[in-house]
C-alpha cells in the first residue's frame, strides 16, 4: 500500500540501534530511508520546517566510519531524530515558528543539540511548532500548521506538534520537544505516541530559545516507552551553562523502562481531572487504563489535589509574564528581521515596526497579558498572587506523594480536534493543557503513553503518569507496564493502525 513506511522506518530506535550494531545495515542506509519517507509524506503532514539531508548524511557517514574503526559508540548512535525548531543549531536555521527569526542561523548549538550529536544521533531537520511554543495545535506557527497523521484534517497538538507528527508518521523514530505547559505530552497524546516532560532542570535550557524560563523543559518523543527513555538519558544531565540545571545524576530511566513492574505500586487518580469538558471516550479509555494498572497489582486510590483547578489561570499569568520579559530581546538589532531601517527612523521606530510585523497575534497577546500582569500597581494582584497559588499547587503534589507513588490522569481532555476549530478561541485552545500544566508549575516528571482509541472518533487517547521531582524513572516503569499490557491486548502497537491510513491513497483505519 502506498503510504506504508518501509521496514527501516517501521523499526523502533532500539531496534535500529541493534541492527546497526550487528552490521546488518548502516547509519547512512537508515538515514536515507527516513529522508525518503519524509520526501514521500511530509508534503501532507508538514512536520518539518527545514530538512537537512547533507547534514544528516554527513553525520551518518561519520558514525559508520567510527563503527568501522571499532570506536565505542553510544546506544543510539546512527539513529535519526527530528529536532524542534526552538533549539539552536549552527548548521540549520532556528526560527521558533516565527517570522521574526526567519532564516536565522544561530552561532552556537544548544546543549541538547550538542549532546545528541555527541551521542551519534542523526539530526534530520527542524520541526514545526506554535510560534515561540505558544499554542496547542501548531496553528500559531507563522509557517502554517502541521497535520495529524491519524487524520490529516486534525491538529497534531502543540506546541511540539511537528515533532509528534514526524514520529507518528514514521518520518523519524525519535524527536525532541519542549514542555512549558504540556507541549510534549499533549501532542504525544493526540498523535498516539509517547512523550516525556523530564523533571525541570533535568535537561538543559542552554540554547533553548526561552518562552517561560521557570517552566521550559526539553524532553523526548518516541513510539515506545523504551525509546523515549533511551533518548531521555542521551539528552539529560547537569549543564553548568544553565543556572537552573539540576546537579544530580540522571534518574535510571532506561533500566526502569526495561522493568515494567507495578506490583504493589500506589497509584493516585487525580479527582479534579474528570467531569464536564472531558470527552466520554477519553474518560472511558482512561478508566480502563486505571483498571489495567489494578489488574497488574497496583493499589489504586482517588486523590484530591484541590488547587489543580487553579493551574490554568496561574499558568496564564506566570508564563505570559516571563514571556513578556524574554521576548524583549527581539529588538530588531540583535537577531533576524529588521523593518523600516531607512537611515532616518529611530531605533524605537524600527523596533516597533519590526515587532509589529515579526510577531503573530498569539505572541502579541501573551506579551500584552504579561506586561499588564507585571506592571506596577497590578504586580501583587496578578503575578504575585499567581506565584502564591503556584506554591499551593506544589504543596498539593507534596501531600499527594505522601500517599501514592505516582498520580495519573488523562493527558488532555479530548482527542485531536479539527484544524481551525479552536483557532479563533484562545480559551478553548488553552483548555487542551488543563491536565498537563500542574506538573510544569511544580517541576515534576510526567509522561504520556497511548491508552487506546476513543470510540467516538477512533483517535488516540493518552494516559498521563506524574511522579515527584527527580523520580523520572517511576513514570517510565509505569508507562512501560501499561504499554506492554496494552500491546498484548491489541496484538501489537497502537500506532500500527495509523500507518498509511488517512493518506489519500491509504487504506482504512
**Chain positions contacting ligand GLN, by CB under 6 A:** 133-136, 159, 179-183, 211, 319, 433
Nearer to ligand GLN, 282 or 290 (CB): 282
Catalytic-residue membership of 159: yes
Per the CB < 8 A criterion, the answer to whether 395 and 263 are in contact is no
Q: Which of 469, 463, 487, 92 has the alpha carbon at shortest distance from 298?
A: 463
Nearer to ligand GLN, 182 or 443 (CB): 182
Distances (CA, A) of 494 to 23, 184, 294, 509: 29, 19, 21, 11
Q: CB of residue 190 vs ligand GLN: minimum separation in angstroms?
A: 12
Catalytic-residue membership of 385: no
Nearer to ligand GLN, 183 or 354 (CB): 183
Select which of 141, 159, 160, 189 is catalytic.
159
Nearer to ligand GLN, 12 or 180 (CB): 180
How many of the other CB atoms lie within 10 Å of CB of 487?
A: 15
> CA angle, 143 as apex, 331 and 2 as ends, to 5°?
155
> CA angle, 278 as apex, 461 and 215 as ends, to 5°?
75
Q: Any bridge partners for residue 449, and if so which?
A: 463
Gap between the Cα atoms of 349 and 338, Å rounded:
11
Q: CB of residue 245 vs ligand GLN: minimum separation in angstroms?
A: 19
Gap between the Cα atoms of 131 and 102, Å rounded:
12
Gap between the Cα atoms of 56 and 116, Å rounded:
12
Nearer to ligand GLN, 250 or 437 (CB): 437
Specify the length of the chain in residues. 509
Residue located via cell numbers 505500586? 265
Select which of 163, 183, 203, 236 is catalytic.
183
DSSP state of 422: S
- What is the bridge-based pairing of β-strands 266-270 and 299-303? parallel
Q: Any bridge partners for residue 300, and if so which?
A: 267
Q: Quick one: 264 exposed, middle or buried, by C-beta within 10 A (0-12, 13-18, 19+)?
A: exposed
Q: CB of residue 12 vs ligand GLN: minimum separation in angstroms?
A: 26
Per the CB < 8 A criterion, the answer to whether 206 and 242 are in contact is yes
- Secondary structure class of 148 (helix, strand, coil): strand
Cis peptide upstream of residue 159 (ω within 30 degrees of 0): yes
Q: CB of residue 272 vs ligand GLN: minimum separation in angstroms?
A: 19
Q: CB of residue 229 vs ligand GLN: minimum separation in angstroms?
A: 21
Catalytic-residue membership of 203: no
Q: CB of residue 140 vs ligand GLN: minimum separation in angstroms?
A: 8
Nearer to ligand GLN, 16 or 133 (CB): 133
Gap between the Cα atoms of 181 and 312, Å rounded:
9
Nearer to ligand GLN, 84 or 232 (CB): 84
Nearer to ligand GLN, 269 or 432 (CB): 432
Q: CB of residue 54 vs ligand GLN: minimum separation in angstroms?
A: 30
Q: CB of residue 243 vs ligand GLN: minimum separation in angstroms?
A: 21
**460-467: strand order across its sheet:** 48-51, 122-127, 80-84, 174-179, 217-222, 194-197, 445-453, 460-467, 406-410, 266-270, 299-303
Per the CB < 8 A criterion, the answer to whether 2 and 506 are in contact is yes
Select which of 10, 84, 126, 197 is catalytic.
84
Q: CB of residue 494 vs ligand GLN: minimum separation in angstroms?
A: 24
Nearer to ligand GLN, 26 or 160 (CB): 160
Gap between the Cα atoms of 194 and 463, Å rounded:
10
Q: Which residues are catalytic?
A: 84, 159, 183
Amino acid at each position: 500500500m502506498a503510504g506504508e513506511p518501509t521496514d527501516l522506518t517501521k523499526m523502533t530506535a532500539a531496534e535500529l540501534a541493534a541492527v546497526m550494531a550487528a552490521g546488518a545495515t548502516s547509519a547512512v542506509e537508515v538515514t536515507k530511508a527516513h529522508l525518503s519517507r519524509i520526501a514521500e509524506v511530509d508534503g501532507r503532514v508538514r512536520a518539518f520546517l527545514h530538512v537537512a539531508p547533507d547534514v544528516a548524511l554527513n553525520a551518518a557517514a561519520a558514525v559508520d566510519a567510527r563503527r568501522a574503526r571499532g570506536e565505542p559508540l553510544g546506544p543510539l548512535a546512527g539513529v535519526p531524530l527530528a529536532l524542534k525548531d526552538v533549539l539552536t543549531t549552527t548548521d540549520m536555521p532556528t526560527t521558533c515558528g516565527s517570522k521574526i527569526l526567519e532564516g536565522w542561523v544561530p552561532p552556537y548549538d544548544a546543549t541538547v543539540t550538542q549532546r545528541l550529536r555527541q551521542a551519534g544521533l542523526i539530526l534530520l531537520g527542524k520541526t514545526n511548532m506554535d510560534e515561540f511554543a505558544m499554542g496547542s495545535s501548531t496553528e500559531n506557527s507563522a509557517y502554517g500548521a502541521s497535520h495529524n497523521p491519524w487524520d490529516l484534517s486534525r491538529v497534531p497538538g502543540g506546541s511540539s506538534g511537528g515533532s509528534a507528527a514526524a514520529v507518528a508518521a514514521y518520518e523519524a523514530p525519535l524527536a525532541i520537544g519542549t514542555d512549558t505547559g504540556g507541549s510534549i505530552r499533549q501532542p504525544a497524546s493526540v498523535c498516539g505516541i509517547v512523550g516525556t516532560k523530564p523533571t525541570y532542570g533535568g535537561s538543559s535550557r542552554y540554547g533553548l530559545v526561552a518562552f517561560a524560563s521557570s517552566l521550559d523543559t526539553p524532553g523526548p518523543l518516541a513510539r515506545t516507552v523504551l525509546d523515549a527513555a533511551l533518548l531521555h538519558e542521551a539528552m539529560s544531565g547537569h549543564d553548568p551553562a544553565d543556572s537552573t540545571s539540576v546537579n544530580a545524576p540522571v534518574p535510571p530511566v532506561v533500566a526502569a523502562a526495561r522493568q515494567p513492574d507495578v506490583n504493589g505500586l500506589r497509584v493516585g487518580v487525580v479527582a479534579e481531572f474528570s467531569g464536564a469538558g472531558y470527552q466520554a471516550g477519553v474518560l472511558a479509555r482512561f478508566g480502563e487504563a486505571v483498571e489495567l494498572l489494578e489488574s497488574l497489582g497496583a493499589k489504586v486510590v482517588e486523590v484530591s489535589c484541590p488547587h489543580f483547578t487553579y493551574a490554568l489561570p496561574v499558568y496564564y499569568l506566570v508564563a505570559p509574564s516571563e514571556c513578556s520579559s524574554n521576548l524583549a530581546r527581539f529588538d530588531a538589532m540583535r537577531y533576524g528581521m529588521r523593518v523600516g531601517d531607512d537611515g532616518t527612523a529611530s531605533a524605537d521606530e524600527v523596533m516597533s515596526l519590526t515587532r509589529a510585523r515579526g510577531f503573530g497575534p498569539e505572541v502579541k497577546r501573551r506579551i500584552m497579558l504579561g506586561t499588564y500582569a507585571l506592571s506596577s500597581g497590578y504586580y501583587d494582584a496578578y503575578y504575585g498572587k499567581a506565584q502564591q497559588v503556584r506554591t499551593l499547587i506544589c504543596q498539593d503534589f507534596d501531600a499527594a506523594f505522601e500517599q501514592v507513588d505516582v498520580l495519573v490522569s488523562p493527558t488532555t481532555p479530548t482527542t485531536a480536534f479539527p484544524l481551525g476549530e479552536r483557532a479563533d478561541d484562545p480559551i478553548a485552545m488553552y483548555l487542551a493543557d488543563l491536565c498537563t500544566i500542574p506538573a510544569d508549575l511544580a517541576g515534576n516528571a510526567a509522561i504520556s503513553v497511548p491508552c487506546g482509541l476513543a470510540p467516538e472518533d477512533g483517535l488516540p487517547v493518552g494516559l498521563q503518569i506524574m511522579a515527584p521531582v527527580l523520580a523520572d524513572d517511576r513514570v517510565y516503569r509505569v508507562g512501560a507496564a501499561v504499554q506492554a499490557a496494552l500491546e498484548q491486548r491489541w496484538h501489537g502497537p497502537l500506532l500500527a493502525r495509523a500507518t498509511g491510513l488517512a493518506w489519500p491513497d491509504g487504506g482504512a483505519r
